Amino acid sequence: MKTKITFYRNKLGITQEDLGNLVGVTRQTIISLEQGKYNPSLELASKITKALKRKYIEEVFKV
């Protein structure tokens, strides 16, 4: 799954560790998500979208 996590994260100026702490996952999980290795659950996708201050999940995650 393609994601724009890195783009929005850099825009906000937060690290992978910070984002992980915000959504309650490890840094390794954020790395996997950014690399498109792991497909998140709807709950996690929603949390990440909120943490990145986006309105819609589709803005961050693209199937």
Q: Quick check: helix, strand or coil at residue 6?
A: helix
Q: Segment near another protein (CB under 8 A), from 5-13, 31-39, 49-57?
A: 31-39
**How many angstroms separate the Cα of 42 from the Cα of each of 6, 31, 39, 46, 58?**
19, 18, 9, 6, 11
Rounded to 5 degrees, φ, ψ at 42 are: -60, -35
40 makes contact with another protein (CB under 8 A): yes
46 binds another protein per the rule CB under 8 A: no
Indicate whether 22 belongs to the interface with another protein (CB under 8 A): no
**Residues in contact with another protein by the rule CB under 8 A:** 20, 24-26, 28-29, 32, 37-38, 40-41, 43-44
